[in-house]
Structure 1
Amino acid sequence: MQLDNTLIALADSTRRAILDRLTQGPAKVTEVAAPFPISLNAVSKHIRILERAGLVQRRISGRDHMLSLNQQPLDETAAWIEKTRAFWTSRLDGLEALLKAEDALAKAKGKP
């Protein structure tokens, strides 16, 4: 479920841009929203999706809502991607070796 929420959050370019901004350090919601040509309410909805995925943490100080990046879900997603990539790479390497062996056998038997 955590992986699903992370991937859903990363699927949108606005949310990825918010995360990119937060890699520079914590920021107020209004600072994060400023560069986007959408309403503050729309940006807040994107932020809530990022919070649900655990990618963004909010700290409230008076009227200011400070956002910061939580790297852990990204690290977990990267680890899953790497594990999956390694699995499929080994499977595809095995398939390639099998096909080459079959081609060599066919050539040895005189088949084109």
Structure 2
Amino acid sequence: MQRTLSDIGYSTSEIELAVMAKALGHPVRIRILRLLAGETCCFTGELTGLIPMAQSTISQHLKALKEAGLIQGEIDPPKVKYCIHRENWAKAQALFGEFFASEKSGGCGC
């Protein structure tokens, strides 16, 4: 039987924060989120005009952001429409805020 992260003592918020942090770990994904945050919705075709990358590469980054719950998509043939997942966006802001607020300044005294 395979143990999960929660089975070995990680909290739900720690696991969620790690998933979101991993999704934010590429500058293209940061750019996509900034673009989507300023819009109500955006078609993937429009993103290729704003980000100089192949559609397939942008789609891979969109998939990672969607899997992390930071964006949501809707099929509107022949395109897929993406936008910020507002509820999870607020959750990410809270989790990151709590994480950074909990850190003690000075660390090891260096």
Partners of 2:76 and 2:49 in 1: CA distance: 20
The one-letter code of the counterpart of 2:40 is G
Count of aligned pairs = 93
Say which structure is richer in helix: 1
Verify: 1:13 aligned to 2:27, yes or no: yes
Match of 1:100 in 2: none
Percent identity for Structure 1 against Structure 2: 21
Partners of 1:81 and 1:40 in 2: CA distance: 30
What stretches of structure 1 of length at least 5 have no aligned partner? 97-112
Deviation by residue 1:36-58 (Cα, 9 ceiling, x = unmatched): 22211000000000000111111
Partners of 1:34 and 1:41 in 2: CA distance: 13
Which deviates the most, 59-68 or 72-81? 72-81
Partners of 2:52 and 2:83 in 1: CA distance: 22
Partners of 1:87 and 1:38 in 2: CA distance: 37
Q: RMSD of the alignment, in Å?
A: 2.3
The SS at the match of 1:34 is: helix
Normalised by the length of structure 1, the TM-score is 0.69
Partners of 1:39 and 1:85 in 2: CA distance: 35
What stretches of structure 2 of length at least 5 have no aligned partner? 1-14
The one-letter code of the counterpart of 1:77 is A
Q: 1:22·1:69 contact (CA, 8 Å) conserved in 2?
A: yes
